[in-house]
Amino acid sequence: MDTARIRFEDPFGGVAFSIISISVGQCGGSANEMSVAQGTQLALLVAEAFKATLESDAYDNMQLQCLQDGVCYPDALNAEWCDETGCYIVTVDTGPVPTGAYELTIPLGTGETVILRIEVGESE
pLDDT one-digit tens code per residue, 85-101: 888 899 999 999 999 99
Q: What is the DSSP string of the chain?
A: -EEEEEEEE-TTS-EEEEEEEE--PPPSS-TTEEEEETT-EEEEEE-TTHHHHHTSGGGGG-EEEETTT--B-GGGEEEEEETTTTEEEEEEE-TTS-SEEEEEEEE-SSS-EEEEEEEEE---
Domain ranges for the chain:
33-121
Query: pTM value?
Result: 0.69
CATH 3.40.630.40 correct for 33-121: no
Q: Is the pLDDT of residue 45 over 70?
A: yes
pLDDT one-digit tens code per residue, 54-80: 888 767 788 999 999 999 999 999 988
